[in-house]
A and B are shown apart, each in its own frame.
Chain A
Amino acid sequence: MSPDSGGRRPVAVVSFAQSSQVRRQDHRNDVEMLMPVVEEVFSRIGVTKNDMGFVCSGSSDYLVGTPFSFVSALDAVGAWPPMRESHVEMDGAWALYEAWTMLVAGDADTALVYSFGRSSPGQLAKILTLQLDPYYLAPLWPDPTALAALQARALLDAGLAGEEDFAEVAARSRRQAMANPHAQLAFNRSVEELMKDDYVVAPLRRHTLPPITDGAAAVVLAAGARARDLCERPAWITGIDHRIETHALGARDLTDSPSTRLAAEGAALGNPPDVQVAELHAPYAHQELILRRALGLAPQVEVSPSGGALAANALMVAGLIRIGEAARRIMDGSASRALAHATSGPCLQQNLVCAMADSATGGER
């Protein structure tokens, strides 16, 4: 079942842009939030929408309570003349995956991928509860933080981490976020200080939770020679794969992420993966520990230098941003091999892994 990574048409990330990730963008609608981002992702490489062979977006109607919210968002691109376009009701990382298959199949040479998510208009904890099994789980109204707390508790009970480890992830992420101009939540506080925070849902203290974020992001993909034309150092996708686990939390080992491990294998990454940077989509601090272990990341790998989802977690966007941030490090020459990860669903149910390098073959191994 693992795809054969050899002989595929090479595809790369050639541009990335994101909005400010903020608590509330209620003075702008989705189109107004997206337009500057789309403009920036094009202007960075001197292209326009007319140069795009395909457009794919990711968003969720439930965040703003709008059926077909992606329909009006398309106005941020201006689909005239008509475009080859599609949409996933998922994080933009999966929109990027769909666009990647289109380019690999040779049906387009370039693609715009964008996503947007505004969590501020509704009560996010209640909304995300509607993501659960509608017959047996949703009626109990467990919110995402309560479910994440069960997962964190399982980690503690298994002796795989202590509460200080959660605080350490949070402290490091927010400290790294201070260098990220797009981050929503950045600070320099010690683990000792963070450990004085109250519990929100034990064993999760306030600092272990992601912020509630409004934001948007966009990526341009290009294949083969077109990528080299558009970008001096394209971030070549050397492998990308995603896997889902069962929805039944009781049937999962919440301390592990087998779907991440499978996706990394499918993305042709070794274990440990030969990367310098890993941008992980770990909305709750303890989830970074699970992902590190599932991926087998070596201690010297730079993890989520952007601050990750603990610095900004616009739903449907944060995964695509991880790919963009990892790609940016290759494009600016500060890394030659990187991986990005995106997640969806309660307690890391679904995971995507994207491996990128400064050469289409994955560089020296």
Chain B
Amino acid sequence: MAERCAVVGVGQTKHAAKRHDVSIAGLLREAAQRALEDAELDWPDVDAVVIGKAPDMFEGVMMPELYLAPALGAVGKPMIRVHTAGSVGGSTAIVAAHLVTSGVHQRVLTVAFEKQSDSDAMWALSVPQPFSAPLLAGAGGYFAPIIRAYMRRSGAPEDTGIKVAVKDRRQALKNPYAHLHQPDISYEKVRDSMMLWDPIRFEETCPSSDGAAALVLGDERVAASKGKPPAWVHGMAMRSEPTMFAGRDQVNPKAGRDCAADVYAQAGITDPRRQIDVAEVYVPFSWYEPMWLENLGFASEGEGWKLTDQGATALDGGDIPWNCSGGVLSSNPIGASGMLRFLEAAMQVRGQAGEHQVDGVRRALGHAYGGGSQFFSMWVLGTDKP
């Protein structure tokens, strides 16, 4: 019999291009300490620690959890290290949640991070592999043709991506932890920024960030003992598919659709646009908003860009606000980026998102993806005990 699981504490760092003021351990502790304080817990109260990050080459430390064990209070405890590419922040939270739903542990600390300034992600993403198609220009070079395919297929206007970037960067101004704060962000500024990987402009791409995110997950008894409201897990799932094979739809991947269908079925959601109040979705390049709107069932195929165009996804006046925190477009500590989506969903459900809080949130979606749009992890959190 599966136990219920809830988020009872959240913590994140101030994300920045270079956090030279802290070591890797210091970065993780900053987030973890805040999550524990939010959960009204101390280090010894934690039963197990689950950490996640993207490839070890991003920092140049092999299996850094070994070195991080004492800094995260894990000595004498179980510690697991998850790595599922860009979706890892989400997958890490799900692995941690299974430690609770299985009844194995009551209180689990989970932390995800990236300290990109310690290495060069563009290099680490582009190491040539025998018998594999070269990535060459990192993630942007990989995703640009897929975006171009979406534009052609949907007939979306050329500036949908610009509108997403302006919206997310404006919303980031309300999030004190966001890496990018651009008070002067405007349609013209995004439009006139350098073209990096056609059709992705400089201001339509995520930054390289140092940062960490942490969650404390608890079972029903732990959740009941806290003063602050818990964010209950209503559904969670992971899905993977191969990077490439003939006929694979990379624009609207089946793994993403299947993952969403699984989570919605668990959470009793049949109409996501109506039943989900706010979503934090992994949008590292602006055009992924309309693409994921379709993949996640908020719009029918070919219609996603219309929601963006109409302002439906804006914090200010939209009926289904996406990425009120500024999203991956405003902060991208890669390994943590997925967990930040999961964490922001929890903050919205718990009513602790401050200036970027949406009123009356009852259900929120957290989403992450990785690899060549092939690894997905998602959860739906809610105010009501499931």
A65 touches B127 (CB 8 A): yes
Option from B91, B104, B243, B255 in Cβ contact (under 8 Å) with A3: B104
A89 and B104 alpha carbons, distance in the complex (Å): 21
User: Is A8's CB under 8 angstroms from B371's CB?
Assistant: no
Q: Is the CB of B56 within 8 A of A350?
A: no
Cβ proximity bits A121-156 to B, threshold 8 Å, 1 near / 0 not: 000000110111111011000000000000000000
**Closest residue of B by beta carbon distance from A85:** B240
- Chain B 284-315, CB-CB to A under 8 Å as 1, else 0, gives 00000000000000000000000000000000
B38 located at the interface, meaning its Cβ lies under 8 Å from any Cβ of chain A in the complex: no
For B60, the chain A residues whose CB sits under 8 A away are 130, 134
Q: A91 vs B24: C-alpha distance in the bound complex, in angstroms?
A: 23
Total residues of chain A contacting the partner, CB 8 A: 67
A81 & B254 in contact (Cβ 8 Å cutoff)? yes
CA–CA, A240 and B208, complex, Å: 39
Closest to B68 in A: A247
B130 interfacial by beta-carbon distance below 8 Å: yes
CB distance from B242 to the nearest CB of A (A): 5
B104 and A104 form a contact (CB under 8 A): yes
Q: Are A71 and B62 in contact (CB under 8 A)?
A: no
B41 to chain A: which residues have CB within 8 Å?
Answer: none
- Measured CA separation A8–B95 after assembly (Å): 18
Residues of B within 8 A of A89 (CB): 56, 63, 81-83
Residue among A68, A78, A132 with the highest chain B CB neighbour number at 10 A = A68
The reply to whether A107 and B67 form a contact with Cβ atoms under 8 Å apart is no
- Min Cβ gap B132→A in Å is 7
Are B67 and A82 in contact, with the CB atoms below 8 A? no
Contact with B91, one of A80, A86, A241 (Cβ below 8 angstroms): A86
Interface code A56-90, partner B: CB below 8 Å = 1, 0 otherwise?
Answer: 00001110011110111011001111111111111
B191 within 8 A of A: no
User: Could you tell me the distance between the alpha carbons of A238 and B239 in the complex, rounded to whole angstroms?
Assistant: 29
A94 to B66, CA, bound (A): 14
| B104 nearest CB neighbor, chain A only | A3
User: B62, A131: Cβ atoms under 8 Å?
Assistant: yes
Chain A CB within 10 A, most for which of B130, B240, B371: B240
Binary interface encoding of chain A residues 169-195 relative to chain B, with 1 for a CB under 8 A from any of its CBs, else 0: 000000000000000000000000000
A82 to B254, Cβ gap below 8 A? yes
**B81 x A85 contact (CB < 8 A):** no
Task: Tell me the chain B residues, 41-70 only, with Cβ under 8 Å from chain A.
Answer: 47, 55-70
Q: Are B82 and A349 in contact (CB under 8 A)?
A: no
Interface pair B2/A71, CB less than 8 Å apart: no
* Docked-complex contact B63 and A344, CB < 8 angstroms: yes
The residue from A55, A80, A132 contacting B67, defined by CB atoms under 8 A apart: A132
Please tell me which stretch of A44-52, A95-103, A303-311 contacts chain B, meaning at least 4 of its Cβ atoms lie within 8 angstroms of it.
Answer: A95-103
**Contact partners of A350 in chain B: CB under 8 A:** 66, 69, 79
